[in-house]
Amino acid sequence: MNSITQDMKFRQSLMNYAKKYGVSRASRKYNKSRSYIYFWLKRWDGSVESLAVKSRRPHHHPNEHTKEEIDLIKRYHKRNPTLELPELWHRLRKQGYTRCLESLYRVMKKLGMLPKKPKKATYKPKPYEQMTYPGERVQVDVKVVPRKCIADPEMKLYQYTAIDEYTRIRFLYGYEEQSTYSSADFVKRLVKWYKRRGITVKCIQTDNGFEFTNRFSPSKRDKKTLFENTLSQLGIEHKLIRPYTPRHNGKVERSHREDHNKFYSCHRFYSCDDLNVQLAARLSRTNNRPMRPLKWFSPIEFLNNSVQYD
């Protein structure tokens, strides 16, 4: 017995009382019928394990496979171990088997005749590559501004986000369209913004969206986007994450979730310029907020300390 429930303990106490003072007195004290007490007294052997509720599953079913049918299935499966289930069922029906294909599948699964599927190898993620200096790799992604935050229902706004993996310093800018032109303009702005703070961007990591790359375009796969051409002109490496794996861009994805919960839940925008004004205030706050991965330094303080020690 794996565990002893409260009901089993209650019945044990009831059985001890009934054995000592009688069934009638135990029935009045525990508010249980005499037939209930006699039922458990008949099953009780002195141990609490004997008072467990047994399974009520029937031992037999009126429509279960007969011994002759099971012997027929075993005999045909033994002769043809590699035969597929529909073909085996078809041959059995020629021998008088009247069950449906689903019933044959269930009984063969119960008897262990079906081939076992090989276990999939456990996925082991690669160890995270720690950055060693500011600007070594910057994650870039786009967040769609929620419609409820925009005053004009026909307007669409997008937040471009860049975050340095080493210092967690972010740069934000808003656009009216999500395109390779907006991405190219954003990368020019982020390079200048980081350079003013003493950070030289060496690599930019993005997902496989069409605003960044034509990797999955059926007709323009070999043609570079304006964003990629801009990176080549600036001498910056472009790294693409694995498709459908946003966790590889986890830092910028996490920052987008924080923006959604703490910024877009309580702000409203009337134009793209208004969005950029409010994003500037948001940027200043997040870059000066202490973070646990940085040992409770803010990104600005962490950058200043790393530059000082270098």
The model's pTM: 0.64
Two tokens, residue 261: 């919960």
The CATH H-level superfamily of 138-309 is Ribonuclease H-like superfamily/Ribonuclease H (3.30.420.10)
Instruction: Give residue-wise pLDDT tens across range 207-220.
Output: 999 999 999 888 88
pLDDT at 182: 96
pLDDT class of 128 with cuts at 50, 70, 90: confident
Instruction: Give residue-wise pLDDT tens across range 130-168.
Output: 899 999 999 999 999 999 999 998 999 999 999 999 999
pLDDT at 2: 61
Q: Which helix (H) or strand (E) holds 191?
A: helix 180-196
Instruction: Give residue-wise pLDDT tens across range 38-49.
Output: 999 999 998 999
pLDDT class of 4 with cuts at 50, 70, 90: confident
Instruction: Give residue-wise pLDDT tens across range 177-216.
Output: 999 999 999 999 999 999 999 999 999 999 999 999 999 8
Mean pLDDT, residues 245-268: 93
Sequence-distant (6+) residues with CB within 8 A of 90 are none
Question: Sign of the CA dihedral 154, 182, 132, 194?
Answer: negative
b (16+ CB within 10 A) / e for 243-274: eeeeebbebbbebbeebeeebbeebebeebeb
The residue ranges of every structural domain in the chain are 6-51, 67-110, 138-309
b (16+ CB within 10 A) / e for 163-201: bbbbbbbbbbbbbeebbbebbbbbbeebbebbeebebeb
Q: Which helix (H) or strand (E) holds 144?
A: strand 138-144
Half-sphere exposure of 197 (CA within 13 A, CB side): 22
Two tokens, residue 16: 């001890």
Question: Sign of the CA dihedral 241, 242, 243, 245?
Answer: negative
pLDDT class of 308 with cuts at 50, 70, 90: low
Return d(Cα 290, Cα 252) in angstroms, integer. 17
Residue 309 pLDDT more than 80?
A: no
Instruction: Give residue-wise pLDDT tens across range 81-124.
Output: 888 999 999 999 999 999 999 999 999 999 999 888 888 888 88
Give the chain's radius of gyration (CA, Å): 35
Two tokens, residue 282: 């948001």
pLDDT at 1: 47
pLDDT at 58: 84
pLDDT at 57: 85
Type of residue at 53? V
Query: Whose CA is closest to 73, among 114, 38, 39, 43?
Result: 114
What DSSP state is assigned to residue 278? Answer: H
**Pairing assessment for the beta strands 158-164 and 138-144 based on DSSP bridges:** antiparallel
Type of residue at 13? S
Give the three-class secondary structure for 171: strand
Instruction: Give residue-wise pLDDT tens across range 49-58.
Output: 999 988 888 8
pLDDT at 222: 87
Q: In which order are the strands placed within the sheet that holds 170-175? A: 170-175, 158-164, 138-144, 203-206, 237-240
